[in-house]
Amino acid sequence: MSDIQHLLSIDDLEDDLRSILEWAIHFKQDPETDYDFKPLDELSIGCIYEKPSTRTRVSFEVGIHKLGGQALTLLKGDIQLGKSESIADTAAVLSRFLDGI
């Protein structure tokens, strides 16, 4: 049986969003606390950036790391999204190696 959940409506995310926001409040109030909350443990997450942004890149990579995951940064020049490689081909390849984008 598959663990895949299909997103049909933003309302389907209500419980997940509430949980994420509650954890965000805890982290913000006491960032030095070592939480065992590692929802991205052992997961590889791809981050695709069309424009360079130090704050965005650093915040995403640190956040993914703190949640137990590994970030793979792909800059605009690293992939030929929609150019020499179709978006469908790129998505198919990335989905084989990454747990999320």
Pairwise CA distance, residues 88 & 47, whole Å: 17
Residue 48 located in a structural domain:
yes
Determine the structural domain holding residue 77 and report its residue range. 36-97
6 in a structural domain: no
Rg (CA), the chain: 16
Residues 6+ away with beta carbon under 8 Å from 22: none
Type of residue numbered 90: T
In a domain, 26, yes or no: no
Q: How confident is the model at residue 2 (pLDDT cuts 50, 70, 90)?
A: low
Residue 96 token pair: 């084989």
Please, how many CA atoms are within 13 Å of residue 36, restricted to the half-sphere of its CB?
0
Pick the more confident residue, 99 or 13. 99
Over residues 50-97, the pLDDT tens digits come to 888 899 999 999 999 988 999 999 988 888 777 788 888 888 899 999
- Does the predicted TM-score (pTM) go above 0.85? no
Q: Report pLDDT for 43.
A: 96
**CATH value at residue 88:** 3.40.50.1370
The answer as to whether 66 is a domain residue is yes
Assess if residue 2 is contained within a domain: no
Residues 19-44 have pLDDT tens digits of 888 888 887 888 676 667 788 999 99
Q: Is residue 24 part of a domain?
A: no
Q: Considering its fold, how many domains does the chain have in total?
A: 1
